[in-house]
Amino acid sequence: MTLANPADAKAAETAGPALAGAAPIKAGKIGIMLINLGTPDGTDFKPMWRYLREFLSDPRVIELNKAIWYPILYGLVLTMRPKMSGANYARIWNRERNESPLRTFTRSQAEKLAGALADLPNVVVDWAMRYGNPSTESVARRLVEQGCERILSFPIYPQYSATTTATANDQLFRALMKIRNAPAIRSVPPYYDEPVYIEALARSIEQNLATLDFVPEVVIASYHGIPKPYSDKGDPYRAHCLETTRLLRARLGWDEKKLITTFQSRFGAQEWLQPYTDVTVEKLAKEGVKSIAIVNPGFSVDCIETLDEIGREAAETFHHAGGRNFAHIPCLNDSAEGMAVIEALVRRELSGWV
């Protein structure tokens, strides 16, 4: 369009597109999505089968060729494991809410984060699961429908692994492939060495140990394991775990005998990262160690691997091998210390967006 009066043209240029007939574009909202690993919807066979199928079908989790793995998965694993895993989940199930503790804690983290960010009115906080519900796709769509033009993805795994952080981001981008007006994305990086995280862990350990009627001779930092070949191919997870323990040891003023690193939750026949937690616990007891405590720095919230595998199985192993005093130190969960970590990292990663 040509304006007859040069002064009018100058005014239109200065004022922007509104004078040219276009409505001004309003700044969109910013979504924050806390993403955890996942959880079954129930402890019965069918919900456990659905959850395990989705989880164990992920090529980042099981790197075997599908032609080899799927007959094992559908022929053996999904026939036997749902019942066994369901029984384990039933022991820790949140009966009041009819859900797993992982879902309870992750929801609470999101709710508390939303409260902490009340000074940022354009920010929307939500939470999702990589496997199970609420699905990553459903939450991504919900944030977009609420007007979020930018999303900060926060896979709440302190140490990076392709089996956790990477697959969570994969799933988010797969969801965005189905959305025409896809938002801009940022992802919170791993925080295994962040001072706020190390300090939160240390304070949690100190506070929990102060409530015990014994002093642990050894404290075990037990991390979820991954197959050793994954690490050999370049996954930095092992190095991240060892660095977390080193920094935590320095903060607590402990030596390498007081705080040790182990890896748990191995699955299948191949070698996983060592030393194994269960083997170490039994070995310590047989060597005469009478009192231990275990902390799980690789888990943001308590779940089946911490509450049942450590809280029950590791305790039984230690006692049966001759140990006397056992304590499991809870994860940071939605504690004040844990929320301080999440809020600090979110505020930092929102820089330039708010």
208-231 residue pLDDT tens: 999 999 999 999 999 999 999 999
pLDDT grade for 23, boundaries at 50, 70 and 90:
low
Radius of gyration of the chain (CA): 24
- 3-state SS assignment for residue 178: coil
Query: Domains of the chain: which residue ranges?
Result: 29-191+336-349, 195-329
pLDDT at position 268 is 86
Question: In sequence order, what are the beta bridge partners of 126?
Answer: 33
Q: What is the pLDDT of residues 117-152, one digit of tens each?
A: 999 999 999 999 999 999 999 999 999 999 999 999
Q: How far apart are alpha carbons 166 and 161 in whole angstroms? A: 7
Tell me, rounded to whole angstroms, the distance of Cα 200 from its chain centroid. Answer: 16
Confidence at residue 27, expressed as pLDDT on a 0 to 100 scale? 61
What CATH topology corresponds to 195-329?
Rossmann fold (3.40.50)
Q: Averaged over 11-36, what is the pLDDT?
A: 65
- The enclosing H or E element of 134 equals none
CA distances from 105 to 61, 83, 350 (A): 24, 24, 23
The CATH code of domain 29-191+336-349 reads 3.40.50.1400
CATH topology of 29-191+336-349 equal to that of 195-329? Answer: yes
Q: State CA 139 to chain mean position distance.
A: 16
31 has pLDDT over 80: yes
Average pLDDT, the chain: 93
pTM for the model stands at: 0.90
State the pLDDT at residue 22: 55
| pLDDT, tens only, 251-278 | 999 999 999 999 999 998 899 999 999 9
Across the strands, what pairs with 146? Answer: none
